[in-house]
Amino acid sequence: MLRLRTFLQQHCDNAELIDVIDQLAVTCKDIAHQLTLGDLAGILGSAEQENVQGECQKKLDVIANDLLKDSLAALPAVRGIASEEEPDPVACNENGAYLVLFDPLDGSSNIDINVTVGTIFSILAAPEGSHGSDEAAYLQPGNQQVAAGYVLYGPSTIMMLTTGNGVYSFTLDTRMGEFLLMKENIQVPAATAEFAINMSNQRFWLPAMQQYVDDLLKGETGPLGKRYNMRWVAAMVAEIHRILTRGGIFLYPFDNRDPAKPGKLRLMYEANPMSMLMEQAGGRCSTASEAIMAIQPQGIHQRVSVVMGSAEEVSIVEQYHH
């Protein structure tokens, strides 16, 4: 089994990009260790402050963000970083080739109940002449990402990674402290009978989405003609990992609760990196009306509705909305 860095050296001819991905992996090992200790390390509970999103931060949100920010800032290849927990981009190294965006701890509301959480990351080429603190440098469509991935902290710690040539899975061997290659060229089944959505928001969805989910629940007697299972973990990393493992569809659609927040998930460091992974694995990603990775971002914390997973099912959702 190949170690992550050895794999990257065999599949990527850019030494600086290898350094960035390797540094992300090293830092995520630290986060995994903190999670393993849990309350023994005093990391559970609220940090008693809000982030730029207006969300109450958990202690480990802050810890994970600081670990990633400090480790990436020390890397010459990183020009700047943008995080869910930072109001503005942070400049790192003037001559760095890459910008790194991340959600340091996706699903952090699950920490205190010991349920799966994860780290999501997106890597972009830094535009020539740009500064790491300049928001405009980061506002690139998802189809310009050079690499994307996530680390899932569950019963085992797993990294899913793409550099634009397929999706690969690595498992952290805690005995040797290394991510080892376990699966190559992961593919998502085109059809599925499993969906993930927060049903408590149904009354706020657009009529087309309400009709689609109603038809899912009718099963084999409804217009879709098959019985569906529903799953919901309340962590995007866990939902997408399940789909990359066995297929399915994940939906966090537009709702009308707050006109200023037409979507729940952030485009730049949640929807875009997950879309790159999903499409590299043969799945599809959409807002229900347009391709996620074709969107021209307007801000680093921009929100977007998300429909992603097995290609045939995403197409069905788009048909309802069209």
Whether the Cβ atoms of residue 4 and residue 20 lie closer than 8 Å to each other: no
The annotation status of 107 as a binding-site residue, yes or no, is yes
Is 181 known as a binding-site position?
no
> Does 108 show up as a binding residue in the annotation?
yes
For the domain made up of 194-321, give the CATH fold: D-Maltodextrin-Binding Protein; domain 2 (3.40.190)
Q: Give the residue, 26 or 322, on which the prediction is more confident.
A: 26
Q: What is the predicted pLDDT for the residue at 87? A: 93
pLDDT digits (tens, 9 = 90+) for 37-61: 877 766 555 545 555 555 556 688 8
Q: Is residue 130 marked as binding?
A: no
Q: Measure the CA–CA gap between 183 and 173, rounded to whole angstroms.
A: 14
Do 4-183 and 194-321 agree at the fold level?
no
Q: For residue 315, say whether it is annotated as part of any ligand binding site.
A: no
pLDDT in tens, 2-30: 999 999 999 999 999 999 999 999 999 99
pLDDT of residue 260: 74
Give me the helices (H) in 38-94, please: 59-73
**148-165: pLDDT as tens digits:** 999 999 999 999 999 999
**Half-sphere exposure in the Cβ direction for 308 (13 Å, CA):** 31
Q: How confident is the model at residue 112 (pLDDT cuts 50, 70, 90)?
A: confident
Bridge partners, residue 266, by sequence: 303
Annotation: CATH topology of 4-183: Fructose-1,6-Bisphosphatase; Chain A, domain 1 (3.30.540)
Asked whether residue 168 carries a pLDDT value surpassing 50, the answer given is yes
The stretch 159-188 carries a mean pLDDT of: 97
84 annotated to bind ligand:
yes
Q: Which pLDDT score, from 0 to 100, does residue 259 have?
A: 73
Q: Which residue has the tokens 């966090």?
A: 252
Question: Does the pLDDT value for residue 211 go beyond 70?
Answer: yes
In 10 A of CB 174, how many CB atoms?
A: 13
Going from N- to C-terminal start, the domains of the chain cover 4-183, 194-321
Contact 231, 287 (CB under 8 A): no
For CA atoms 175, 178, 184, 188, the dihedral sign is: positive
Above 60 in pLDDT, residue 75? yes
State residue 47's pLDDT score: 47
Query: d(Cα 100, Cα 244) in Å, to the nearest integer?
Result: 23
Mean pLDDT over 88-111 rounds to 93
The whole-number average pLDDT for the span 295-309 is 97
